Structure 1
Amino acid sequence: GKSTLLRALARLLAPREGVVELDGAALHSVPTRELARKLGILPQSPVAPEGLTVGDLVGRGRAPHQTWWRQWSKADEEAVDAALAATGLTELADRAVDELSGGQRQRAWIAMAVAQGTPVLLLDEPTTYLDLAHQVDVLDL
């Protein structure tokens, strides 16, 4: 149910009937970059490339805001720093994601979604692997 809905919203699954809309527009007609500026989606069990640092992972959340003529900006840096701080990962920014505990890894992915800066975030089981204190922190984001 929930995961299927998220997959449809992420355009990974086409609905058998009807149309999925966001802000009155059919999702299949919204350009990918525009959709990624409006809607952030974090699947249940994402996998990071081996050796990718927490900071680099969180920075990937800013990709929808970059173009070939506008690369990394001060606003991108501020969004990444704010997302790392909000998830308590600032000190782990230089660590490889694959070296983190399950809870730290989950917070890194959440930080990436937060750094994306979208008005809508859809998170599939975002509190998995988190202790109670971090579950509350994530729900407060």
Structure 2
Amino acid sequence: CGKSTLLRALARLLAPREGAVSLDGRALHTIPTRELAQQLGILPQSPVAPEGLTVIDLVNRGRSPHQTWWRQWTKADEQAVHDALAATGTTDLADRAVDELSGGQRQRAWIAMAVAQGTPVLLLDEPTTYLDLAHQIDVLDL
């Protein structure tokens, strides 16, 4: 199987034909979705944002696995988003619509969302696509 297929299996978008997919020795299909999203972040090759969604709203969505009806937005969430924007050089793009960005800016915004998720494991499919050399190096240093 290819890397994109593996990522789809890890995201539970594709069931394995044989064998099993595990994370830390646990079968992936037995891990509750929220718990899995707190442990494993996945960014597909060509994600699509809803029309008009701003970069800050996109990056905020990376914190969704940490929200519940009894635990709403916290200073830690705010800091995680701030740090992700800074790490990816997208702070100045925060108020811009994702669909109005260049390919490289859009890619960095999506990476910021994945970083804001704050998972111990982050899998990115072709993360340097659309990025100039300087930003490719920055992303690989994350």
Q: Please report the TM-score for the alignment, with normalisation by the length of structure 1.
A: 0.99
Q: CA RMSD in A?
A: 0.4
Equivalents in 2 of 1:70, 1:123: separation in Å?
28
Matched, 1:90 2:91: yes
Render the CA deviation track for 1:83-107: whole Å, top value 9, x for unaligned: 0000001111011101110000000
Equivalents in 1 of 2:93, 2:129: separation in Å?
19
User: Where do 5+ consecutive residues of structure 2 fail to align?
Assistant: none
Letter in 2 for 1:51: G
Give the structure 2 partner of residue 49 of structure 1: 50
Give the structure 2 partner of residue 37 of structure 1: 38
Matches within 5 A, 1:1-141: 1-141=2-142
Equivalents in 1 of 2:16, 2:119: separation in Å?
24
Render the CA deviation track for 1:28-87: whole Å, top value 9, x for unaligned: 000000000000000000000000000000000000000011111100000000000000
Q: Kindly state the Cα deviation for residue 111 of structure 1 after the two structures are TM-superposed.
A: 0.3
Q: Please report the TM-score for the alignment, with normalisation by the length of structure 2.
A: 0.99
2:42 counterpart SS class:
strand
**Identical amino acids, percent of aligned pairs:** 88
Equivalents in 2 of 1:122, 1:10: separation in Å?
10
Equivalents in 1 of 2:29, 2:90: separation in Å?
35
1:105 counterpart SS class:
helix
Structure 1 runs, 4 residues or longer, greater than 3 Å off: none
User: Where do 5+ consecutive residues of structure 1 fail to align?
Assistant: none
Equivalents in 1 of 2:90, 2:127: separation in Å?
16
1:6 counterpart SS class:
helix
Equivalents in 2 of 1:108, 1:92: separation in Å?
8
